[in-house]
Amino acid sequence: MKDKKYEVRRRYDATATFYDKRYLDIQMTKYNEIFSEIDINDSEIILDVGGGTGLLLDFMENKLSNIFCCDISFNMLKEGKNKHKTSHFVCADSDQLPFRENRFSKIICVSVIQNIPNPQITLREIYSSLRCDGILILTALTKLFSDSKIKEMLHKARFSILKLWLLSIEDLSVIAKKKDC
Ligand SMILES: C[S@@+](CC[C@H](N)C(=O)[O-])C[C@H]1O[C@@H](n2cnc3c(N)ncnc32)[C@H](O)[C@@H]1O
């Protein structure tokens, strides 16, 4: 498992400087479609798991100052920090999130889980970091994750799905909340 993560980190470290050029349009399309389904207000504290170069912050145009962008690749975060100097960038593995329990009102995880050897561990961490009334927004590549696979994973991690739909590019998107709250 460690080898796979090391390889993922190496790959994103190596491509960080041209990630935005290559993926900006694709990711912005995804963010547009996701955020047409949910409301976010200024008082929220949001965690972007696998946030990379901070494209979520680009999308939000710095309207929200309380976004924590967490990623395993230091170079991806460095690109993000260059664009968003006052935002929070945290280098961490999503399987060991360094945040206290029930901290975030929204946790976003876009185009990340295909890189994670055991997404169930990350989902467990997300569950713990998310507030009881919080919302998880997750996307997954349709070529690797079916509807039923995503449903099963979220069910196991004690999330209930509020909405599951196909984005126009690449991904299946899910909005979910904690079951036991
Ligand atoms: C395809 S990029 C998506 C970046 C961002 N979410 C976006 O929408 O542009 C996948 C990101 O997941 C990060 N990642 C992969 N495995 C991770 C892990 N175990 N913990 C944290 N981040 C991880 C990568 O470093 C990379 O920045």
**76-85 tens-digit pLDDT:** 999 999 999 9
Give the pLDDT band (50/70/90) at residue 43: confident
Cα 54 to ligand 1 centroid, rounded to whole Å: 10
CA-based Rg of the chain, rounded to a whole angstrom?
15
Over 70: is that where the pLDDT of 62 sits? no
Task: Identify the helix (H) or strand (E) that includes residue 168.
Answer: none
Cα 50 to ligand 1 centroid, rounded to whole Å: 3
Residue 34: what are its φ and ψ, rounded to 5°?
Answer: -70, -50
Which is higher by pLDDT, 115 or 43? 115
Output the domain CATH number for residue 36.
3.40.50.150
Over 80: is that where the pLDDT of 176 sits? yes
Residue with tokens 């126009």: 168
Over 70: is that where the pLDDT of 3 sits? yes
Over 80: is that where the pLDDT of 65 sits? no
- Strand pairing class (104-109; 159-166): unpaired
CB burial of residue 120 (10 Å; 0-12, 13-18, 19+): middle
Give the pLDDT band (50/70/90) at residue 41: confident
Over 90: is that where the pLDDT of 5 sits? yes
Ligand 1 pocket: which of 56, 112, 123, 144 to mutate (most atoms within 8 A of CB)? 112
Can you tell me which atom of ligand 1 is nearest the CA of 55?
9
State the chain's mean pLDDT as an integer. 95
Give the pLDDT band (50/70/90) at residue 42: confident
- Strand pairing class (46-49; 104-109): parallel
Could you tell me the residue range of the domain that residue 174 belongs to? Answer: 2-178
Q: How many domains does one find in the chain? A: 1
Ligand 1 pocket: which of 57, 115, 120 to mutate (most atoms within 8 A of CB)? 115
Task: For residue range 139-174, list pLDDT tens digits in order.
Answer: 999 999 999 999 999 999 999 999 999 999 999 999
pTM over 0.95: yes
pLDDT of residue 63: 72
Which is higher by pLDDT, 2 or 57? 57
